[in-house]
Amino acid sequence: MRIRELTGYTRTLLRGRRARTMMICTLPLGAELLFRSAEAAVYSLLLYFGEMPPIALFSGRSAVQMSVAAVCALLRLLTVSPLLCAAADRLCGLCSGHRTVPVSRLLLDRRFFRRSIAAALWTRAISLAALVPAVFFGISAWSLMSSGAGPAGSLVAVHSAVLTAVSLLAWISVRISLAAVPFVMAIYPKKSVFYAVRRSFRLMSGRKRVVLRLCGRYVPLMAAIVTIPALLTSLMTAFALSVEIFVMEDEYRERDNTDRAPGENASPRGIPQT
């Protein structure tokens, strides 16, 4: 299935359901913006009353600032993660045509809540681990360039800058590979979170350009700001549909490899290509 066909079928799925789906898809973004705004408001009050200097916002040396950041990060983790997994569950049900559990019931389910938090922690831990090389090489390049090193130091700084760019690309690749985790959890609700993480990496292997092309189709149009709710809904629905197709492709491929006799070539199953 081509991107044009994918987005066209997405519009068909959302026909008559866009308002309800939009509300569910924008809830995680709304919660994220709410806590980010509250955090910024607290920082503004602290700066206004002189409780901390402006440089403390960037140095991380203020205990008050770190406490506020930790509390807001915890609130975002406990709020945004379940909302995102609930939205993924609703979108996967919409794409597959299966009946889904109401979002309110999902959010009150303790097992669903624990799985959502665990998935968020796994995702952030892996993302941070993938970001470490980029931070290391970036700091090395900046230190060498700012210290005015000689020709040998300049050569090392250039290599560090190149490695920083390569590490950032690897980090982006990891982030894309983890994007399917909430949707895999919705498709396999009885599987463990670790299985969802591994399956997400497997599903996105060789298919990351589908995500990039979808983002290239929708994200530039979000520059108008007012179009974000509608376009975000379309983007998430199209991605959920693509994950469903990836799962079908892998299941048919696994079934082919299991059923066919040794030495016999597998026949094509007619799975739509992305």
Domain membership flag for residue 62: yes
Domain membership flag for residue 269: no
Domain membership flag for residue 163: yes
Instruction: Give me the helices (H) in the chain, please.
Output: 3-14, 18-48, 56-59, 63-96, 103-108, 110-146, 151-178, 181-187, 193-204, 208-218, 228-259
Residue 81: pLDDT above 50?
yes
Nearest alpha-carbon partner for 218 in 227, 207, 226: 227
Structural domain containing residue 22: 3-257
Domain membership flag for residue 271: no
Q: What percent of the chain has pLDDT over 90?
A: 41
pLDDT at 250: 82
Rounded-to-integer distance, Cα 84 and Cα 206, Å: 25
Residue 224: pLDDT above 90?
no
Domain membership flag for residue 274: no
Residue 261: pLDDT above 50?
no
Q: Residue 269 — pLDDT band, cuts 50, 70, 90?
A: very low
What is the total count of domains within the chain? 1
Rounded-to-integer distance, Cα 90 and Cα 236, Å: 11
Rounded-to-integer distance, Cα 82 and Cα 136, Å: 32
